[in-house]
Structures are given as structure tokens and as C-alpha cells.
Amino acid sequence: MIIMTTIISAILIMLISILNLSSKKSFYDREKTSPFECGFDPKNFARLPFSLHFFLIALIFVIFDVELTLFLPMILISNSSSPLYTFMSVNLFTMILLLGLFHEWKQGTLNWVK
């Protein structure tokens, strides 16, 4: 049974590969491979340069946004744990966030105009 399944699978794979090779069309026409812009040749390059500084600001925003969502469960934890433990964990978490923000500020990542 295993040999029969293997033989049928091999025959099907060969048939599919033969059909795919014969049905592929190749377009070497410059007009068909170029981006379409109302039938005219493009005036400029389609990809604009990306601002790395904008990407870093967006990345910092996402990181701090996700960390702020971690503050919400601390409200539920405060009901089930001691007030001292809640106070210490919230202060530690806030200090880590502030140290990260201070580090980014000292590196100059938060300055938009350089």
C-alpha cells in the first residue's frame, strides 16, 4: 500500500511539473514588464526614499505604547496582592520606562530636526 501511494504521488508530481513548465508564459516586452502609468513611461522612480529617523520615532512609539498597555493589568493585580508589592512593581516599571526615554533623549533620537 505504501509503495502504491508513493508511485501515484510521484506520477502526480511529475505531471504537475510538466504541465507547469509547458504553460508558463514569458514576457520579454518592455512595456508589459514596466509599471503602468496611464500608458506613459514613468516620470520618476516609483519608490521614494524612506526616512530612517521617522522609522525610529515610530518604533519608539510602538514600544512605549505596548508597555503602557502592561500598566492596565496592574490595576487587577493590586486587588489581590499587598499594597507594598504593587507600589514597588509599578515604580520599578515606571523607572525602566523613564530610563529608556531618558536614554533615547540623550542619544538625540527624539530630536526631529538635526
Residue 100 resides in a domain: yes
pTM of the model: 0.47
Q: State the DSSP string of 41-99.
A: PPSS-SSPPPPHHHHHHHHHHHHHHHHHHTTHHHHHHHHHS-HHHHHHHHHHHHHHHHH
Domain that holds residue 65: 52-107
85 in any annotated domain: yes
pLDDT digits 0-9 by tens, 54-113: 888 888 888 888 887 888 888 777 788 888 888 888 899 889 888 988 888 898 877 776
Instruction: At 36, list the grid cell.
Output: 503602468
What average pLDDT does the chain have? Answer: 78
* 29 in the same domain as 71: no
Residue 65 in domain: yes
Q: Which three cell numbers stand for residue 28?
A: 520579454
| pLDDT tens digits, one per residue of 5-28 | 999 999 988 887 776 665 555 555
With respect to residue 94, please indicate whether it lies within any of the assigned structural domains: yes
**Domain count of the chain?**
2
The pLDDT, as a whole number, for residue 70 is: 82
- Same structural domain for residues 103 and 56? yes
Q: What is the pLDDT of residues 53-70, one digit of tens each?
A: 888 888 888 888 888 788
Residue 39 inside a domain? The answer is no
Residue 25 lies in a domain: yes
| Residue in 20, 24, 17 with CA at minimum distance from that of residue 9 | 17
pLDDT of residue 25: 58
